[in-house]
Structure 1
Amino acid sequence: MEEFEALKQAFEQDQATVWREADGHPMKTLIVGLGNPILGDDGVGWRVVEAVEERLASPSRVDVTCLSVGGISLMEHLIGYDRVILVDAFSMDAPVGSISVLKLSQLPNYSAYHITSIHDTSLQKAMELGREMGAPLPEDVIIIGIATERIHEFSEDLSPPVEQVVPCVVNIVLDLLGEISMEEDERHGHPQG
């Protein structure tokens, strides 16, 4: 039992150091493209985020990444950020290429596509666990979902209806970033003109 307590204490000290370092940064925004770029429409999140990154000013106050993870692994990537925009392929009762913009709290079991083990959990549960352990996780998580059809066939190509909405989703992300930027400017006394 002593061994377990010592390991737990060492883990908590190590994590506290990482989390304190993250707390020292100004407001941070992360954009994540989720999916797998070699599984057809499942790669739409990556495609959108890569296009967004090309249009961001350099240097940017926004971090951009593409991931093929979910649950606890995804939660770990969100530590230290104030706001996160996730772009992902969705299986939904809507025409292929339909776009949904939701807050994480509006989804009952997000990240089910990206859970590869029965030992993992949804992003919501992972974030609850992370917060219980003291991780500084974003309160503001927006998910942009694109209705897809081909997510289990090997292909680097998107289906035509999904490919057609990529520019629209890029603009949605950029609009959301514009809103975030205006909020930060107003908070710091720099009104937009």
Structure 2
Amino acid sequence: MKTIIVGLGNPILGDDGVGWKVVEEITCQLPPDVSAGIECLSFGGIGLMEHLIGYDRAIIVDACISPEEDLGSIIISKLDDLPNYSAFHTTSAHDTSLQNAIELGRRMGAHVPEEVIVIGIAIQAIREFGEELSPKVAECVPQAAHIALKLLERI
């Protein structure tokens, strides 16, 4: 099963870059006999869907603002189980949610993943520039990487 691991976020917006940090950790720990696509991206929607074409499964690591979760909590979910916020998508009037983008890709005949797992890491609202993670979020990076690697092993 061909799998891609994607770290999402912006590495110069503090905790929003946690997806990239987790993917860096995964890259260091990935056994040589395990094959997976690995990317760090700063966009979602249709652009992200295009990077998933050709894979059977995707593991996406991203920061999430979740008031009910403690800072640095790790939330694991299938993309299909998450709310589809396409009506509230604000980054561009010409883009859509990942759920809608994957469905569009399927309808156009693209080989997009049947299974998309999201590893979300709870952060607070992003208010300043910086390349460092807050201590609580940085603490969860090894655990999130471990979870992603375990998911990668599961075929």
Give the TM-score, by structure 2 length: 0.92
Which of 1 and 2 has higher RCO (CA within 8 Å, sep 6+)? 2
Tell me the CA shift for residue 109 of structure 1.
2.3
- The structure whose Rg is larger is 1
Instruction: Structure 2: give runs of 5+ residues left out of the alignment.
Output: none
Aligned residues: 154
Structure 1 residue runs of 4 or more that deviate by more than 4 Å after TM superposition? 110-115
Secondary structure of the 2:31 match is coil
Alpha-carbon distance in structure 2 between the residues aligned to 1:47 and 1:57: 18
Native 8 Å contact 2:58 2:117 kept in 1: yes
Tell me which protein shows more strand as a share of its residues: 2
Once the two structures are superposed, what CA deviation does each residue of 1:119-157 show, in whole Å capped at 9, x if it has no partner?
210000111111110001111100000000253410001
The answer as to 2:60 corresponding to 1:86 is yes
Q: Residues 136-155 of structure 1 correspond to what in structure 2 (within 5 A)?
A: 136-155=111-130
Letter in 1 for 2:22: V
Residue of structure 2 equivalent to 1:43? 17
Tell me the CA shift for residue 57 of structure 1.
2.2
Alpha-carbon distance in structure 2 between the residues aligned to 1:43 and 1:57: 24
Letter in 2 for 1:58: P
Alpha-carbon distance in structure 2 between the residues aligned to 1:51 and 1:152: 25
Identity of aligned residues (%): 61
Tell me the CA shift for residue 60 of structure 1.
3.6
Match of 1:133 among 86, 108, 112: 108
Letter in 2 for 1:146: I
- Worse-superposed segment, 47-56 or 107-116: 107-116
Instruction: Structure 1: give runs of 5+ residues left out of the alignment.
Output: 1-26, 181-193
Give the superposed CA RMSD. 1.9
Letter in 2 for 1:178: E
